[in-house]
Amino acid sequence: MTGKGKAVEIVPRGSSKTPDFRINGVPTELKTLTSAGPNTLKNAIQKAAQQGEQILVDARNVPISAENARLQILRAQGNIGGLEGRVTVLTTEETVTF
Protein backbone atom coordinates (compact mmCIF):
# COMPACT_ATOMS: atom_id res chain seq x y z
CA MET A 1 0.00 0.00 0.00
CA THR A 2 2.81 2.41 0.78
CA GLY A 3 4.14 1.77 -2.72
CA LYS A 4 0.79 2.97 -4.08
CA GLY A 5 1.03 6.35 -2.34
CA LYS A 6 -1.00 5.37 0.71
CA ALA A 7 -0.07 6.40 4.24
CA VAL A 8 -0.08 3.18 6.27
CA GLU A 9 0.12 3.14 10.06
CA ILE A 10 0.21 -0.11 12.05
CA VAL A 11 -2.22 0.03 14.98
CA PRO A 12 -0.82 -1.51 18.20
CA ARG A 13 -2.85 -4.42 19.54
CA GLY A 14 -4.98 -3.61 22.53
CA SER A 15 -7.18 -5.51 24.93
CA SER A 16 -10.29 -4.80 22.82
CA LYS A 17 -10.93 -5.34 19.12
CA THR A 18 -8.82 -2.96 17.06
CA PRO A 19 -8.08 -2.63 13.35
CA ASP A 20 -4.70 -3.82 12.08
CA PHE A 21 -3.88 -0.61 10.19
CA ARG A 22 -4.91 2.92 9.42
CA ILE A 23 -4.65 3.53 5.70
CA ASN A 24 -4.83 7.25 4.98
CA GLY A 25 -6.26 7.58 8.49
CA VAL A 26 -9.07 5.04 7.95
CA PRO A 27 -9.18 2.04 10.35
CA THR A 28 -8.61 -1.04 8.18
CA GLU A 29 -8.75 -4.69 9.16
CA LEU A 30 -6.61 -7.16 7.21
CA LYS A 31 -7.53 -10.81 6.94
CA THR A 32 -5.28 -13.29 5.14
CA LEU A 33 -6.96 -16.51 4.07
CA THR A 34 -5.06 -19.76 4.56
CA SER A 35 -7.80 -22.04 3.22
CA ALA A 36 -10.73 -21.69 0.83
CA GLY A 37 -13.99 -23.31 1.85
CA PRO A 38 -17.57 -22.37 0.96
CA ASN A 39 -17.79 -20.01 3.96
CA THR A 40 -14.17 -19.05 4.65
CA LEU A 41 -14.21 -15.64 3.00
CA LYS A 42 -17.73 -14.82 4.22
CA ASN A 43 -16.73 -15.61 7.81
CA ALA A 44 -13.52 -13.56 7.55
CA ILE A 45 -15.46 -10.55 6.25
CA GLN A 46 -18.08 -10.81 8.99
CA LYS A 47 -15.38 -10.98 11.67
CA ALA A 48 -13.38 -8.13 10.13
CA ALA A 49 -16.48 -5.92 9.97
CA GLN A 50 -16.39 -5.69 13.77
CA GLN A 51 -12.81 -4.42 13.79
CA GLY A 52 -12.36 -1.82 11.06
CA GLU A 53 -14.20 0.62 8.82
CA GLN A 54 -12.48 -0.87 5.78
CA ILE A 55 -11.91 -4.60 5.21
CA LEU A 56 -8.99 -5.90 3.17
CA VAL A 57 -8.82 -9.65 2.54
CA ASP A 58 -5.78 -11.25 0.95
CA ALA A 59 -7.00 -14.39 -0.82
CA ARG A 60 -4.11 -14.65 -3.28
CA ASN A 61 -2.66 -17.78 -1.64
CA VAL A 62 -5.86 -19.84 -1.82
CA PRO A 63 -7.88 -21.16 -4.77
CA ILE A 64 -10.78 -18.70 -4.72
CA SER A 65 -12.05 -17.12 -7.91
CA ALA A 66 -13.13 -13.52 -8.25
CA GLU A 67 -16.70 -14.70 -8.88
CA ASN A 68 -16.69 -16.87 -5.74
CA ALA A 69 -15.33 -13.89 -3.78
CA ARG A 70 -18.23 -11.75 -5.03
CA LEU A 71 -20.76 -14.40 -4.00
CA GLN A 72 -19.30 -14.75 -0.50
CA ILE A 73 -19.22 -10.96 -0.08
CA LEU A 74 -22.92 -10.81 -1.00
CA ARG A 75 -23.70 -13.58 1.50
CA ALA A 76 -21.88 -11.66 4.24
CA GLN A 77 -23.80 -8.53 3.24
CA GLY A 78 -27.05 -10.48 3.52
CA ASN A 79 -26.10 -11.69 7.00
CA ILE A 80 -24.82 -8.49 8.60
CA GLY A 81 -25.42 -5.61 6.15
CA GLY A 82 -23.46 -2.38 6.09
CA LEU A 83 -20.62 -3.67 3.92
CA GLU A 84 -21.08 -1.54 0.79
CA GLY A 85 -17.98 0.49 0.06
CA ARG A 86 -16.00 -1.29 2.77
CA VAL A 87 -14.71 -4.58 1.31
CA THR A 88 -11.68 -5.26 -0.91
CA VAL A 89 -10.63 -8.83 -1.70
CA LEU A 90 -7.35 -9.58 -3.47
CA THR A 91 -7.57 -12.75 -5.59
CA THR A 92 -5.12 -14.13 -8.13
CA GLU A 93 -7.59 -13.17 -10.88
CA GLU A 94 -8.39 -9.60 -9.87
CA THR A 95 -9.16 -7.24 -7.02
CA VAL A 96 -12.83 -7.46 -6.03
CA THR A 97 -14.42 -4.45 -4.33
CA PHE A 98 -17.84 -4.09 -2.81
Residue 94 has pLDDT above 70, yes or no: yes
The pLDDT value recorded for residue 25 is: 94
The pLDDT value recorded for residue 1 is: 61
The pLDDT value recorded for residue 12 is: 87
pLDDT band at 47 (very low <50, low <70, confident <90, very high): very high
Q: Quote the percentage of the chain above a pLDDT of 90.
A: 84
Sketch out the chain's domains with CATH numbers.
2-11+18-97 (3.40.1350.120)
Residues 33, 6: Cα–Cα separation, whole Å: 23
Q: Residue 89, SS3?
A: strand
pLDDT tens sequence across 24-45: 999 999 999 999 999 999 999 9
The pLDDT value recorded for residue 75 is: 98
**Region 65-81: what's the mean pLDDT?**
98
